[in-house]
Chain A
Amino acid sequence: MADRFSVRHQPGFTAIAATCFVLLYFPIVVLVVYAFNAATSTSAWGGLSLKWFVSAWNNDAVIEASIRSLQIGAVAAVLSTAVATMAALATTRTPPYPGLTFKYAAINQPLMVPEIVTGVALLIFFSRIKIFTGYTGLGYLIAAHTAFCIPFAYLPIRARLETMDLTLERAAADLYATPWKTFRRVTLPLLWPAILAGLMLAFVISLDDVVITEFVKSGGQDTLPTYMLGQIRRGITPEINAISTVFLLLSVAIVTLFFFMSRKRE
């Protein structure tokens, strides 16, 4: 057993890979551990404590920012997924037609532009509109988030549609189902897991956004990430660790859900 030649083995690769995995998780683990650190200073260990979680919970600014994040995330996720579903239906299962590649490029465009550029562009554009209409609500943030969430919702829906050939829809039409009924009774149920996946993806992406939100927001419109950015710039409080931990748990929960859902379907 000892010296069997393995075709797949490359020297050092496993070591590097292992190192990578450790390095990837190490900082996060440290962060989570320190969230429970009773000591104020982050270099000494003062025993386990939940006090930073409590103080974060009592921090109005934190709660307000969190709610705002969730609101924007929910609306942007639903909008972008609905719109992405329609776009996916329009761009799959068809022989190429004029404009198809354009649509493709356009839908994926937000992925190709660095966030700083989009942030600046929206800052300029929306400031013009603000002057014009006087509206300074959450609408701008929601619009911006919806836009960059679209390609993320689009991806899993498109992937799923590509595996569904048109035969089932034809069978439904053959059995007297109108196009709308076919969509509702055949296409949609089969597409639903992918739509949910897109929804979750879009939600996480929206929650996570820092740069675009930072540039587009007006004063007092902090989301959780922009609030944290502000705090970090001013100095480090362990409260940030606590907030980060909760945020982390949320993201991990959603991704795990997503992962198990896709595994179940296999």
Chain B
Amino acid sequence: MKLSVLSIVVPGSAQRYFYKFLLVMKITTLLLIIALVHASAASLSQVRLSEKNTSLEKVLNSIEKQTGTSFFYDRKDIRDIHISIHVNNVSLKEALDKCLGDLPLTYDIKDNTVFLSKKVTPLLDKVIPAFKAIDVHGRVIDEKGQPLPGVTIKIKDGSHMVMTDSKGEFNLKQVGDKDIIVISSIGFASRQLNVATELGNIVLIVNSSKLDEIHVIAYGTESSRYATGSTASVSAADIAKQPITNALMALEGQVPGLVVTPSSGAPGASVQIQIRGQNSLQNSLTNAGKPYDQPLFIVDGVPFAPQNNQINKLGSLANNFSNFNTFDTFGGLSPFNSINPADIESITILKDADATSIYGTQGANGVILITTKKGQAGKTRVETSVNSGVNVNTRQVQMLNTQQYIQLRNEAFKNDGLTPNNIPSDPAYAPDLFVFDQHKNTDWFKQFLGKTSNNTDVHASLSGGSLANTFIISTGYTRADYNFPGNFGEKRLTLHSGFHHKSADSKLIVDFTTDYGYDHNNSAGDPSLTKAVLAPPNLPDLINPAGNLVWNYKGVDLNSYQYYSYLKQVSNLQTYNLNNSLRLGYQLFRDLKIGIGMGYSRLTTNESSLNPASSQNPQYASAYASFANSGFQTINIEPQLDYHHFFGNNELSFLVGGTYKKELNDNTQMQGYNYTDDAFLGSISGAGTIFASATNNIYKYVGGFTRLKYVYDQKYIINLTGSRNGSSNFGPGKQFGFFGSVGLGWIFSQETAFNKAPPFISYGKLSGNYGTSGSDGIGSYQYQAFWQPVSSVSPFQGIRPYKPLNLYNPDYSWDTKKALNIALDLGFFHDRILFKATYYENKTSNQLINYILPSQTGFNAVLQNFNATVQNKGLEFTLTANTIAAKEFSWNTTFNISGNRNKLLAFPGLAESPYATIYTIGKPVSEINGYKYKDVNPTTGVFEFYTVNGAVTSSPTYGTTAQGGDLVPIADNQPKFTGGLGNTLTYKNFSLYFFFQFSKQTSVNYLASIYSQNAIPGTLTNEPVAILDHWKNPGDISSIQRLTATTYSDAAAAAYSFLQSSGAYSDASYIRLKTLACSYTLPGTVQKALKLSNCHFYINAQNLLTITGFKLGDPELPGGLFSFPLQRTIVFGLSADF
């Protein structure tokens, strides 16, 4: 299809533009927006023509057919022109030269496209005879016909240089007629042309170098080439290869400086994201309260309403039951499940002050920008993809069988000097040895976590439109099942759409995106379910043949083993997510744009947790249910003014804008008790007693920001940002603050002196920046002392009781992060290999924390600023290489590695503070204090530790050295370095991608799992087979101490100390084949026959292979031997476009 649209140019109103106006009128006919004609791959063909007095159009059509070239022209230019021509096997150029002959037409060939236009003779040229020195005019456009401003036009000898204006036009005065003009722009391949008075439309083709890829940054876009800040981007292609349901998981190992930690392998489970280390101190004495610095998440310019917080208020299987030394605030269900990864165009991670200062008090922990897919102009296309596959455990744990188990129990009793008996209150009570079947054997791990579960994902999108109006509509359905018994899973339905409009005069731009997601997660409501794996292998059947729960076996009460009851206690979470984003832009003057972004993000949840009487011990069965509704909302309005000006070889851009953000968070919960019948459980109406409570929160943020970027001669870059903002989270007089950054860059490869450098170095940049950002994420209203009605009880004598919520401290403000970032960028072999090295050093001081208090004050903590300083510094390296780019074979590699070093620099009065046993100055805040483990005493068979004086004991003393205790720093929980290596190989129609992710780290080991959760080996609980290697007789050397059947023997006490010792930590480094993606694209002929395009079959696999020295369990989920394991996923799929 061919379109000929005359573009309308509205002339400037000012007198000084009059000349320009005339010129514009004259060349109006050249300003065409023409649709693309698809080309076949035959552009090298020779042309053969034999026509007599044929219309030019027909001739051109014939050339088009023979060569596969596309023609751009305005039909009225060639109307009524007839020619005669006879050529045989000539090139396209020769054919065209011959065709056009003396006609008033000129042409330009770029790749497969011929641009045909009328020769223009400006009015002035008609009266002024041609000089040797001529003026050159032209217009630079991209492949879509859009004008390109800011393009450098210079004479090859460097004598003249100008830049194109906002319409892409330029005038180069007094140029020699033999000169060569070089046209270059960021992100585009340079072109060289011979001088001519009128060059017409010059098309620049986008440069394929990664260096020039445009990515999203705060309030704009940039290319890496001229960036002074530290940002990284993950593209839709990187995401598509991974069979994941949560987009955050797609970031693992892809971005240096970003640590991604899954909280469990359960469908929908939370994923923690941390950029460049932990900045803040913990707010409680136990690790359970350890905060995890979360970056700010923005979707299409709108802060994602729930951020990365757990969204379920009721219990869920995904919640962590207190695993030893894991982050307990971390767990639950992730809000990102309601966004379909297939609708994401890119995820950009902003890491340093240069990139985040503009976000003020929201930016201290970094910013993650998620951009959804936009429509593409052209033929209306339907893209579809279907895949389905299976999940299994990454690492199955082999548990003891009954024979081994019984042997273990008997040995444990013998060690304790006890004779097992059948007296329920006796310490040596052993129903497993006396009452349970001695030959029955059940692998409870397999039974509860060993199931293979299914995965299905369907996605379809419709997109197209004209250049002025594009659209995309896409929809997806995803289902992932839990791999324990029963019909549990996570289902997601999403609808995404995007509309783009550009007014006829190109001045008004409208972008509207809306994203809707529905997600339903149903699971067993209690994480204790996974403790089923610890059940004795000879435990009687827990369900009878009729499917009812068994509560008693030969007089033994099975209440504490009834794990199937959890399967009948279903928890449902329905999430409704809506993200709307509207951006309006208007070009006020040539270089000045005014715009506004508006957005609304809302995530609503609807939860229920049902406990039918049939799931409970019939002797005290009482049906009850909980319901919760939560709403997270963000409204933001961001006006901005954008000035972009080129003069000489200077490029100046200036941004000034404002932000207004309002966040609302509300939650209502109801508990219904005393249901008369299980059938009523789904509704609160059937409850005999109802308790209800609600919370409301409001947060407002306002900011003014500015960014000034100046690039001189494509060599020197300066980038200044500033932001003044206020947060309603702070008390009167403490609300406003100023943040800013200075960034400098020097592209030394542009220096003349650099021409002497080895020719394979094509790019070199040194950049650095320094700046501040803050954090205010502490919740609303904390600066007042509040009281709240207690709603979980009936009124006390008709009066609703109140309880105090917090201590009174109005005098706190944001904490301040000062960040330094220095980077070296190098490009080799025409930027086909790119290398980047970054060093950063961040210091967060004036910490805003919940400072720990003794309970005698009434609360365990008070929110205050505390002048401790935490430093994070590190190195990041990235390498991308387009090693082979042959016609049939290509090979691309990406590699990144980064390491963060955390250090507590200052903590006034640490020794006398509640933090004395937690932190050590000069050590990381992630360092664990514990006892130095020795080994299992070969004589006694009990764990031993070193006291601070070097003596050996089985019962070390709690407390720091100063407090007379034996605690010393024993292990650092943060990874030493992490990274990823990806390779993409394509050969003809085959494509193979494999991505290795690695981490060098220390973590709690399987022994910590065994000795935690009251699962001491030898007691009434099963163990992994690894336990068989324990101390048995004097003289044995083993890493596992002697068995004990009681929870109060000396061995049990030593086990408790062991958990706090270095023995509970081991190296948990691993290299994991995170992603393997193979695809086969159907041959073009087959696709054509089927009327398809881009049709390929694929197999994608996640977590396929792990290389690790970690003994038991998954090193990526350490300490979670008995929690929901990570999954290995393999999917088979087909995708095609129509």
A and B physically associate: no
User: Which residue numbers of B lie inside 8 Å of A, CB to CB?
Assistant: none
